């Protein structure tokens, strides 16, 4: 067993975050995109999950008044299916609850069945399909969940 800790993402985490980003996504964000989220987006919160101080996952979400959006969440493939993504998401839920957010939304690629399973397990419902949402023409599934105590 290992201890997973969650803390704010800081600039020195960026190389490790980019490594995970490149391993996890077909169209990964560039380093500048994450720096912009970190330094120039008042609505964004970025958290990392660590094991023995090594970054193994991260999440980026926006809180705007009574709603929130999960923009990106990823766990290093060596650590998949060990509840690290769930732990990150629980932190998001806790923060949203504290900030009186009512709904959390997200888009996920139609082909990303494990991502859809992951969100479904955490109470998100498939709300609608956004056609041609991604640059390769793929549809997005728009998912939504109400915020309640204990996720």
Choose between 83 and 100: whose C-beta lies nearer to ligand COA.
83
What are 7's strand-pairing partners?
A: 48
**CA 102/CA 114 separation, integer angstroms:** 25
Is residue 90 at the binding interface for ligand COA, with CB under 6 A as the rule?
no
Choose between 54 and 100: whose C-beta lies nearer to ligand COA.
54
Residue nearest ligand COA (C-beta atom): 85
Site for ligand COA in 97-126 (CB under 6 A): 108, 112, 114-115, 117-118, 121
Is residue 68 at the binding interface for ligand COA, with CB under 6 A as the rule?
no
Q: Binding residue for ligand COA (CB under 6 A) from 9, 38, 74, 147?
A: 74
Alpha carbon distances (Å) from 4 to 70, 94, 145? 21, 17, 25
Site for ligand COA in 20-39 (CB under 6 A): 24
What are 143's strand-pairing partners?
A: 106, 126
Return the range that interacts with ligand COA (CB under 6 A); candidates 34-42, 76-84, 126-134, 137-145. Answer: 76-84
What are 135's strand-pairing partners?
A: none
Residue of 42, 49, 35 whose CA lies nearest to 6: 49
Length of the chain equals 151
Is residue 86 at the binding interface for ligand COA, with CB under 6 A as the rule?
yes
**CA 90/CA 131 separation, integer angstroms:** 29
Residue ranges in contact with ligand COA by CB under 6 A? 24, 72-75, 80-86, 108, 112, 114-115, 117-118, 121
């Amino acid at each position: 067993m290992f201890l997973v800790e969650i803390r704010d993402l800081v600039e020195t985490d960026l190389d490790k975050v980019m490594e995970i980003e490149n391993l996890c996504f077909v169209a990964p964000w560039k380093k500048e995109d994450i720096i912009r989220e970190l330094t120039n987006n008042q609505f964004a919160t970025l958290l990392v999950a660590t094991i023995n101080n090594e970054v193994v996952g991260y999440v980026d979400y926006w809180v705007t008044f009574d709603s929130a959006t999960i923009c990106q969440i990823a766990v290093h493939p060596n650590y998949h299916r060990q509840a690290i993504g769930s732990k990150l998401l629980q932190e998001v839920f806790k923060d949203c609850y504290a900030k009186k957010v009512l709904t959390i939304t997200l888009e996920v690629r139609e082909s990303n069945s494990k991502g859809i399973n992951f969100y479904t397990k955490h109470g998100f419902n498939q709300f609608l399909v956004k056609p041609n949402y991604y640059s390769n023409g793929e549809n997005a599934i728009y998912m939504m969940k109400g915020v309640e105590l204990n996720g």
